[in-house]
Structure 1
């Protein structure tokens, strides 16, 4: 029996797609009545109600021709996407409020109008993701957001079937069939073999929609087969260490949609198909607790935000599956309005998967070395404060790549002192030839050297070699050989050692770089990146660079250097963040005064 025959047999024996997949005993009304009265959900419900009142007071914004064509004309994305995601927020909010208050006509009518409006959209894709020349043209294109939209509508149809007229019920089925199932099965899409979030989100959403709309048979089996293929590729993008190279934000996104699909599949197949039994999936699940530094600060290598919250529903679901999964503290709960893309699947599950009996706690003290990613992460408590350090090797050919081999992040007492800029504003150039001209992507915006005027280069040939990776009780250490990252003919060798000393009242970081050249370089600059304005300070007769605590004149971090070897220069720079806002960052450049054939440069980072 081949795989399609096996899946057809499983599909024909599946449990029905009904409310029992979401609530104990399928009792939807009691669930929503209970959480509407529960103090544990008070903040969640208040946020949804406030958003509902706001949205009822403003018109549904149209997706105009002008907005749709701005990406092709100007290369900008935010204008269209702001309206697109506001429309998704309207859909989600009125659906949730109808579940909470099924007898309130204003919510029900607003939901029905929103479903009709979204079904009328020319495409559910974002303009940045469509190409009229692709197989199937624009109408046959499936991107992240078209797949999510189809999943959302399919799930709303199941959950609110009794509150929707037959015309809307049938139209949802028709639109999802035309926009997702037919193009998915009729031709290949580039994301099907992607080893990152696209394969999980797109295939996971389509597979979920199929599980919700298709009763059984070969058609469902065909969708499940292609989805299985895509999920295999997604998991192939992770090493055995389970690290998400795209960062914690994309773990929430890609792995979240993987879990949403796997849950529905396991329930409908009565356990016959269970991705959660795969060992690698369990390892990936633990990445969340490894990626936080302190508070909301995260290890934000790649296109990731410097701060993150958690999807509390997803976290509680995974905690129920894996014993070593740490339930996060409630202080990190993602609020309803936190997701600027307004995704339905996590918003719903933050309510139905939440377990008030799992209050969570602060992350445990731990040191992690993730050998496939080549990330070292260390987090510890000193008194009532958390201090943390993270550094990376890897390659400059990663998903959402930044040229950042040897880069590091330093956190302490509620402040990120040495930073990763994270992701900038997504534009046509951001994912094009100009990508590494953006400070947040090129090595010029990372804490790595500038060698003879050269920044690091992208591509698989730029890869770190790990010489030592140690996590110990007193010291964590990462030593890297980074020569290949630079295309400097005279550079013979460049090694970097980062040593995190955890003893004493506060930890200390020592950075040691060693350079060997065939001929003296014209210049050699050590760059350290921070979002905190630095200043030169004379301390006990020696110059240091001081970073002040927020809102005070007191230094929180001192950077010690050899003033006979290097001369500091402190400069302010500006970049556009992910939301299109200008943000300042500072370069602490330590220029070698007389570069020779060898250079041994050391820094000590001391918390005050």
Structure 2
């Protein structure tokens, strides 16, 4: 019988350690609740669990696509003469030569999007009008050397180079997505393709087995599987994302029942590693931009697993799964889709409303369902397309259910994530967020103790986020990028030293007083030894649409002036003892006897950043006039 794990009563747990001494409780919710025999006995035949009509059931497809039929057909018609693009050898080599990912990803992504539009049109219309182009797309992808991206190939090949090696297939995000996508094409259109030539579906099936299923079954060293964890390794969104894709291929393609059961159970063991890693408070340390591929992909994985087993293997009543879902509703700020964006997350993008609704329905979260309707009401384009055909199908299937929901935003005045050490405080027109944590979080920035503040639903104190991904983004040179560095976050440079990357660089004595709306933490340990800092207590007191930021410190033999940095969305105006913010709408006051003040304009020449912030953000710096071993600084924002 399935057991609901109660953390207060569980006496014996396998305690494991991730980077930096972060302990987690290895709950293994899937394999501890469900055996391989449970999976075998409950697994349904494919046509019994797939919740979509068969291709030939025209009446059902007409009903399912009714809200979007003209849109689907129009998009498909534009693709009837689509020219399939070639991904050249030099496109792969570009990543190795100059760090460019886009040159290889763009043509492949456009091909995948074209195939998506053609398939959706054919499922909607059902006359075979789009079939030849779908076959061309299938043939194109089976002709490719690899479905993996140039940035990901080296990690999984013995050559450690970007050109695909012969007879070496690995599962990365793109390869997994294509395997899942093409598995649905095989499921829906096998009979129609066989009328043209059986070699098409045979070739397609063989490719999915050879590129996705067999590598997954034969390898345990793909880092995202988390079977061979190193001391510094994280378990991030790759795990549920890739495992969802593998599970889909297993369920739709694999004919060997014993191999299918083994494969399904192996994905369960792997996904348990991700659930174990996520803290029980459910916060996504990667930020809202990654929620859809972290918690959101975990939902997809659990949903399809429950469907395929007749709802036998089901974790949606587990508190941690619900907590992970509601993180996305709590992280919404307002205005122009502003969200809390620590780490690499963008400050804009509230999430996919249809996904949020489905997740909320599964975990019985009215908060998520109403938030989803709020977001959907703001959308002009109610249905989006991607290479994730499963989500497209789910959007069509459940769109009417979302439309009937009432819209609302969360009303709780604060949200505290005690394990992840995130704090949100909201009032009308006011949103404050701060973090503790450590400097080896997934998509990490060196930002222990930082905060953001939005007033009147507009950004004032910000986290810039991340620019366009390049080779440097996920390399040893990552912290050469300004957006990753602590001196471009809302935290101090102590005794001439910035925070450093590494899990040992972390917050301690993290405290939140809900009644007083006070958050404090000692960030001294986030700085390396040369800072000579014994303690640095950063504290925030929120309320009355304002914020007081305080720093109390003790430094041994200081020899450099401390600098307190703030990153601003708008250019400030400096006055004596007061800084005017956001065109004078708000202000920051400080002690003029303590600081010299300067402003740096940080030009945004990266498209990913400029789309959010415009051409410039501003760094406001308070440099201490005196070098002191002990002291206290206070900044008042109104």
Question: What's the TM-score, normalizing by structure 2?
Answer: 0.84
3-state SS in 1 of match to 2:93: helix
Are the aligned partners of 2:567 and 2:617 in contact in 1 as well (CA < 8 Å)? Answer: yes
| Residue matched to 1:236 | 276
Output the CA distance in 1 between the equivalents of 2:383 and 2:53: 28
Output the CA distance in 2 between the equivalents of 1:60 and 1:141: 24
| Residue matched to 1:350 | 395
In the TM superposition, what is the alpha-carbon distance from 1:63 to its structure 2 partner? 0.8
- Choose from 433, 436, 457 the match for 2:476: 433
| Residue matched to 2:602 | 573
Larger deviation, residues 357-366 vs 201-210: 357-366
Q: 1:55 to 1:556 in 2, by over 3 A?
A: farther
Count of aligned pairs between the two proteins: 579
In the TM superposition, what is the alpha-carbon distance from 1:103 to its structure 2 partner? 2.3
Residue 45 (structure 2) pairs with residue 16 (structure 1) = yes
Output the CA distance in 2 between the equivalents of 1:146 and 1:168: 19
| Residue matched to 1:185 | 217
Output the CA distance in 2 between the equivalents of 1:340 and 1:427: 25
| Residue matched to 1:245 | 285
Are the aligned partners of 1:8 and 1:220 in contact in 2 as well (CA < 8 Å)? Answer: no
| Residue matched to 1:551 | none
| Residue matched to 1:446 | 489
Q: 1:170 to 1:294 in 2, by over 3 A?
A: same
In the TM superposition, what is the alpha-carbon distance from 1:134 to its structure 2 partner? 6.5
1:129-165 deviations in Å (ceiling 9; x for gaps) = 1123169956222211101110111123223445434
Are the aligned partners of 2:149 and 2:174 in contact in 1 as well (CA < 8 Å)? Answer: yes
Residue 463 (structure 2) pairs with residue 420 (structure 1) = yes
Q: 1:134 to 1:314 in 2, by over 3 A?
A: farther
Larger deviation, residues 344-353 vs 481-490: 344-353
Q: 1:581 to 1:378 in 2, by over 3 A?
A: closer
| Residue matched to 2:422 | 375
- Choose from 339, 353, 375 the match for 1:298: 339
Pairwise CA RMSD of aligned residues?
2.8
Output the CA distance in 1 between the equivalents of 2:120 and 2:207: 22
Output the CA distance in 2 between the equivalents of 1:323 and 1:25: 29
| Residue matched to 1:61 | 85
| Residue matched to 2:180 | 151
In the TM superposition, what is the alpha-carbon distance from 1:330 to its structure 2 partner? 4.2
In the TM superposition, what is the alpha-carbon distance from 1:76 to its structure 2 partner? 1.4
3-state SS in 2 of match to 1:242: coil
1:355-397 deviations in Å (ceiling 9; x for gaps) = 221243233343111011100012222xxxx321100000001
Q: 1:315 to 1:160 in 2, by over 3 A?
A: farther
Residue 587 (structure 2) pairs with residue 547 (structure 1) = no
| Residue matched to 1:286 | 326
Output the CA distance in 1 between the equivalents of 2:381 and 2:193: 24
Question: What's the TM-score, normalizing by structure 1?
Answer: 0.88
In the TM superposition, what is the alpha-carbon distance from 1:455 to its structure 2 partner? 0.9
3-state SS in 2 of match to 1:320: helix
| Residue matched to 1:203 | 243
Q: 1:90 to 1:490 in 2, by over 3 A?
A: same
Output the CA distance in 1 between the equivalents of 2:557 and 2:396: 63
Residue 439 (structure 2) pairs with residue 396 (structure 1) = yes
In the TM superposition, what is the alpha-carbon distance from 1:400 to its structure 2 partner? 1.2
1:196-238 deviations in Å (ceiling 9; x for gaps) = 1111111221012111223562100111121011101111121
Output the CA distance in 1 between the equivalents of 2:48 and 2:182: 15
| Residue matched to 1:556 | 585
Are the aligned partners of 1:397 and 1:459 in contact in 2 as well (CA < 8 Å)? Answer: yes
Q: 1:13 to 1:515 in 2, by over 3 A?
A: closer
Are the aligned partners of 1:262 and 1:274 in contact in 2 as well (CA < 8 Å)? Answer: yes
| Residue matched to 2:10 | none
In the TM superposition, what is the alpha-carbon distance from 1:128 to its structure 2 partner? 0.8
In the TM superposition, what is the alpha-carbon distance from 1:331 to its structure 2 partner? 5.6
| Residue matched to 1:219 | 259
Output the CA distance in 2 between the equivalents of 1:35 and 1:273: 27
In the TM superposition, what is the alpha-carbon distance from 1:313 to its structure 2 partner? 2.5
Output the CA distance in 2 between the equivalents of 1:247 and 1:181: 30
Are the aligned partners of 1:483 and 1:494 in contact in 2 as well (CA < 8 Å)? Answer: yes
3-state SS in 2 of match to 1:126: coil
